[in-house]
Each structure stands twice: as C-alpha cells, then as structure tokens.
Structure 1
Amino acid sequence: MLFLTENAQSIVTDLAAQPGQSGAAGLRIVSESEVEPALLVSTAAAPEPGDVTVEQDGATVYLDQTAALLLDDKILDAAVHPDGKVEFALAVQP
C-alpha cells in the first residue's frame, strides 16, 4: 500500500484544510493513461466511486484503481518550494 512520508502527510493535510474543502477532502491521484503511465494529482472533496482510500496520520489520499495498482509499493514524498509550488516525488518501498 502507498506510504506517505511525514512531509507528504503534512502537505496533504494542509491542502485538504484549505478554505472551501469538505471534512472528507484529500489528495486524489489518478492515472491519465493506461498505455504509458502518467499520474495526475489534485485535491478532492471526497473519493470518486471505486477509489481506494489511503489514510495515514490524518492525511487522506484517494487513488483510482489504476493508480492504486501502480503505487502499491511506493512512498510518496512532497515539498513546498519557496515560490509556493508543491512537488510530489515517488520512491520504491524498501
């Protein structure tokens, strides 16, 4: 199952707590293409039907079925750059 670093947990929690988000808000990761895997990351008010929910220390991530398979053995890390942009990175779990 996808594992979140402490940085990722903090950033996902902060994104979900932005004004206008619901109590079930989280980060949503979807696969854009089944031919050549590419992932799209956005905030979501709630999961879509069929999404897999990953909850870790208050951070919620929703994964579509394809993303859930692709990320099953991955670690999600995140950082905020000085210009305010959030960058996510993946690594393979040891």
Structure 2
Amino acid sequence: MLTLTENANTIAATIVAQQSTTPDAGLRIHSSGTEEEPRFAVTIASTPEPGDEVIGDEAIRVFLEQAVAEALDSKVLDATVDEQGAVSFTLLPQPV
C-alpha cells in the first residue's frame, strides 16, 4: 500500500485544509498518462470517486484511483515546498 512521509502528510493536509471546507475532503491521485508513459495527477476532492481506495489517517485522507493504487502499491509519497511555495510530490521505493 502507498505510504506517505511525514512531510507529505503535513503538506497534503495543509493543501486540503486551504482549498476545501468539506470535512471529508482529501487528496486524490489519479492516472493522467498512458500505459506506455504512466503519469499521475493530484487534485483536491471533496469525496472519493466510486472504486477509489482510501488511505490516510486523522490528518489527511488520500483517494487513489484503482489503477493508481495498484501501480503505487510499493511506493512512498514524499513532498517538498520550494522557496516560491510550489509543492512537488516525489514517489520513492518503500524501504525493505
């Protein structure tokens, strides 16, 4: 299952809180590429889509499109904020 670093958890929770007033809102990760060139997009969603896998804790809920959940099963999501305030998400392998 995809896991989040402490940074990703904090940054995602902050983004969702700033952009949504819905208490059940979360970060949604969905596919935006092709099978040959997979890409993932991150959006704020008030609720999960039908079929989404929901992960997270009391601080943040993450909704994963089914194909994304499978593709990211053994990954860790990290996040950073640069000097201009832009957020970057990075996928890392899970430690063994």
TM-score of the superposition, structure 1-length normalised? Answer: 0.91
State the SS of the aligned residue for 1:50: coil
Letter in 2 for 1:12: A
Superposed, 1:14-33 pairs within 5 Å as 14-33=14-33
* Structure 1: gaps of 5 or more residues: none
Letter in 2 for 1:2: L
The ranges of structure 1 where at least 4 consecutive aligned residues each deviate by more than 4 angstroms after the TM superposition are none
State the SS of the aligned residue for 1:41: strand
State the SS of the aligned residue for 1:15: helix
Q: How many residue pairs are counted as aligned between the two chains?
A: 94
In 2, Cα distance between equivalents of 1:20 and 1:33: 26
| Matched residue, 2:94 | 93
**Residue 60 of structure 1, CA deviation:** 1.1
In 2, Cα distance between equivalents of 1:57 and 1:6: 13
Query: Does the C-alpha gap of structure 1 residues 33 and 79 become closer, same or farther in structure 2, counting only changes over 3 Å?
Result: same
**Residue 73 of structure 1, CA deviation:** 0.4
In 1, Cα distance between equivalents of 2:41 and 2:34: 13
In 1, Cα distance between equivalents of 2:12 and 2:27: 6
**Residue 20 of structure 1, CA deviation:** 3.8
* Structure 2: gaps of 5 or more residues: none
* Superimposed CA distance per residue, residues 45-64 of structure 1 (whole angstroms, 9 cap, x where no aligned partner): 11111100011352211000
Q: State, as a whole percentage, how many aligned pairs show the same letter.
A: 45
Which range moves more in the overlay, 62-71 or 10-19? 10-19
Superposed, 1:6-21 pairs within 5 Å as 6-21=6-21
In 2, Cα distance between equivalents of 1:40 and 1:19: 16
